[in-house]
Amino acid sequence: MRNILFFLLNIFPYDPAIDTPLGHRNLVLIYAITWGLQFGYAFYALYTWRTANKQKRHKNN
């Protein structure tokens, strides 16, 4: 896990010109993590919906 965090620090370099009180890097990480969670939940919802439909079809046959 620690290696992943160090890897993320290199992806989002620090730029003092656009720094905010929270820190630009932190805002970018929060944004990326939020979108990742939303996409993850969307894929999970689609997967469970697809699995439920398959079970329903299999049960009817």
23-39 tens-digit pLDDT? 777 777 888 899 999 99
Q: Closest Cα partner for 25 from 37, 17, 35, 39?
A: 17
Nearest to 28 by CA among 45, 13, 49: 13
pLDDT band of 4, cuts 50, 70, 90? low
24, 15 in Cβ contact below 8 A? yes
- CA distances to 17, 44, 52 from 41, rounded to whole Å, are 34, 5, 16
| pTM for the full predicted model | 0.54
Instruction: Give the count of domains, the chain.
Output: 1
Q: What percent of the chain has pLDDT over 70?
A: 64
DSSP state of 16: G
Domain with 45 in it: 3-59
